[in-house]
Amino acid sequence: MLEIRPADLQGDAAYKLLCGIVVPRPIAWISTRSAAGISNLAPFSCFTFVSHTPPMLGVSIGRRPGSFKDTARNIHETQEFVVHIGDETLLEPLHRSGGEFPPEVSEAEQLGLELAPSKLVVPLRVTRAPVAMECRLHKVVDFGNNQFFVGEIHLFHIREDLAVGNKVDSGRLRPLARLGGPNYSTLGEIIGMTPQAAQSQAAQPGPRKGVVSRG
């Protein structure tokens, strides 16, 4: 086994290591609005949910030398953002929205993505995204050269064909995930297992018949 001490790593080597190890990462495609009223859209894969009651999302945004990324600056200024989940059909614009656009340029406009008003927050929503979550800032915590933004979700928008009761069918969602380098993945195989409670009584625990599917 290779042994690597972070103290021995130079430049962004630790970042590259982590990006290849912590995979696949879901991607928060975040829409914000600057105080000047310019819409901004950018992807962030250092992303998870941090609470379900109330529902809260967390995303880590790196600092640029001497300045904030537009998304971070806009959230500091307005306290609001919309987190989208991009599906396979959105790979190209999602990837391109991670390029460095000047603050006065709207990525969505440049990429030909239609935006619609949100219901409870000012930042707009990408209409083609299958899921959009309207968030208000709850807390910002500094970690090294990054800031971790926690937002409380005040409204979920979920495309109707994805909903099964109050749940989302992940297979139908076809979300994009990020790997190391400029690489992405799709969901691949879904393996259904017996729920833990049922498993303790079942004679033969293991994958449920008929639920293994290939994406």
Point out which residues bind ligand FMN (CB under 6 A): 27, 40, 42-46, 60-62, 69-71, 95, 98, 100, 178
CB of 73 to ligand FMN, least distance (A): 8
Name the residue nearer to ligand FMN (CB basis): 27 or 168.
Answer: 27
Q: Using CB positions, name the residue nearest to ligand FMN.
A: 98
HSE, side-chain direction, 13 A CA sphere, residue 92:
5
Minimum CB distance to ligand FMN, residue 45 (Å): 4
Nearer Cβ to ligand FMN (137/194): 137
The residue among 24 and 55 lying less far from ligand FMN, judged by its C-beta, is: 24
CA dist 145 → 60, 67, 154 (Å) = 10, 11, 29
Token duo for residue 161? 């064909």
For residue 168, which of 22, 26, 58 has the smallest C-alpha distance? 26
* Whole-angstrom distance, CA of residue 34 vs CA of residue 70: 8
Cβ partners under 8 Å of residue 189, min gap 6: 212, 213, 214, 215
Q: Smallest distance from the beta carbon of 77 to ligand FMN, in angstroms?
A: 13
Q: Say if residues 62 and 145 touch (Cβ distance below 8 Å).
A: yes
Cβ-based nearer residue to ligand FMN, 112 or 210: 112
In the complex, minimum distance from the CB of residue 28 to ligand FMN, in angstroms, rounded to a whole number? 8
Q: How far is it, in rounded angstroms, from Cα 124 to Cα 140?
A: 22
Nearest distance from C-beta of residue 30 to ligand FMN, angstroms: 8
C-alpha closest to that of 29 among 159, 110, 135, 181: 135
Query: Residue 66 or residue 210: which is nearer to ligand FMN going by CB?
Result: 66
